[in-house]
Amino acid sequence: MTKGTTQMELFRLTATEASELMRRRELSPVELLDAVVARTAATEPAINAVTEEWVEEARAAAHVSEQRFAAGEAARPLEGIPLMLKEEQPVAGRLAEEGCLLERGHIADETHPIVERIQAAGAVIHARTTTPEYCCAPVTHTKLWGVTRNPWNTEFSPGGSSGGSGAVLAAGSTLLATGSDIGGSIRIPASFCGVVGFKPPFGRVPGIAPFNSDTYCADGPMGRSVADVALLQNVISGPWVGDAASLRDLSTVSGAVASLEGMRIALCLDLGGYDVDPAVEQNTRTAAAALVAAGATVDLVELPWGPERTLATAWPHFGAVMGPFIEQIAEGEPERAEQLMPYTRAFAAQAAAGGEYVEGLVAETSFYRPFAELMTGYDALVCPTIATTGFAADEPATDSAAVFSKLMTLPFNVIGRVPVLAVPSGRAPNGVPTGVQIVGKTYDDTTVFRIGAALEQELGLWTDPAWWPAVV
């Protein structure tokens, strides 16, 4: 163990810091695993973000990594790094319950390709994280797993649907986590939990049916620094034989800090009509000022979207994909439907009334055009991630329109081929973090990471050990 570092401090290392220490033989993968397992035991009573732990398997993997380091073997990209998986991503032979009573005890018969890549990269997978039922809410509570709480303020939600992943990262219970995003499900918890998350553009990261063909949907990485998220993104991205939509070209991203001199960034505070909380707006303006300090030119711009147009555009899509998926689960039986969460039923009902799919596709094209025209003059767009400063931990989320009207993430699922990096921007008076989205041109992943790394250094928020919540 590196001099001056105690086991109680190890859980606050970033993945890139821990990797460097292990490569120098100053930190043992087993020692690091023990630290995060102990931290999980300490924090779980307060936040309830873990569905199951795989401690013995993880310890065996950590020993393998320790032996590889000792033998001087080439380290794999994630060698020895503790990581938690979002429960939605299946692992053959393991539980796949989706937060639903109807799925209790169900065992997966396939493994998600990103899980296979993470395992092959040497990560130490030690637990899985909670989601709302079928990932269809921006909060994380279910009849099956209970209420997951925000480590910054346990009266509030960590967000959803990758709420468990955001919570364990903020709490220090792991170093890396996976997420997925169909309406903001990586970026919402990244914002509320004060961590970093990346929604890859459609096709960059392979998926499994049926959502691998859904242009709104993407699996992606979450971590406690831009470099950590880049590290995991480079492992999980790239073509896969099981997904015809997966892109053949590779886009390697980096958390390296460089000047933003010469870059032009558009700043939009309300995306055309979202009711943004003053604390969120102020922190967004602070982030914009930091980008100017890093060398960029930042201009205030407008976009003609707003929550009403965004939802009107998105509901036909959800009605064609997510809605029927949920209806199939209930199988038309009232008894089965009653076991679903109220927010699941409300979402399915709203999706069913969403409108014609073809009309939705036409609307999506019209929706994209003003963004594309704006971006002819800019390298990226920056805007708030969420308009509000938090949802209650047990927020019913049954009024889908009201909840979605706070989520400034959904527009970038509608135009799903754009990369979006979500980073913290500060904290609200209630203690819950706020965040901004860095949105790139279609498939320009490298630029959003370059901007994110510069913003991370300039703000100096989540790189400061004092940033993180105490929890216990």
Asked if the peptide bond before residue 161 counts as cis, ω within 30 degrees of 0, the response is yes
Q: How far apart are CA 250 and CA 252, in angstroms?
A: 6
| Host H or E run for residue 346 | helix 342-352
Read off the tokens for 61.
């993997």
DSSP 303: -
Check if the beta carbon of residue 411 is closer than 8 Å to that of residue 310.
yes
Tell me the one-letter amino acid at 63: H
Read off the tokens for 436.
């901004």
Check if the beta carbon of residue 50 is closer than 8 Å to that of residue 158.
no
Instruction: Report the largest interatomic distance among the alpha carbons of the chain, rounded to a whole angstrom.
Output: 63
Known catalytic residue: 86?
yes
Catalytic residue among 161, 173, 237, 251: 161
Q: Report phi then psi at 299, rounded to 5.
A: -120, 140
Read off the tokens for 203.
């096709």
Read off the tokens for 151.
């480590």
Known catalytic residue: 406?
no
Asked if the peptide bond before residue 210 counts as cis, ω within 30 degrees of 0, the response is yes
Known catalytic residue: 225?
no
**What's the distance, CA 44 to chain centroid?**
20
Other Cβ atoms within 10 Å of 427 Cβ, number: 19
Catalytic residue among 65, 162, 165, 185: 185
Q: How far apart are CA 374 and CA 101, in angstroms?
A: 46
Other Cβ atoms within 10 Å of 203 Cβ, number: 23
Task: Find, among 434, 416, 414, the residue nearest to 424 by Cα.
Answer: 434
Catalytic residue among 19, 65, 86, 162: 86
Q: How far apart are CA 123 and CA 278, in angstroms?
A: 40
Supply the residues annotated as catalytic. Answer: 86, 161, 185
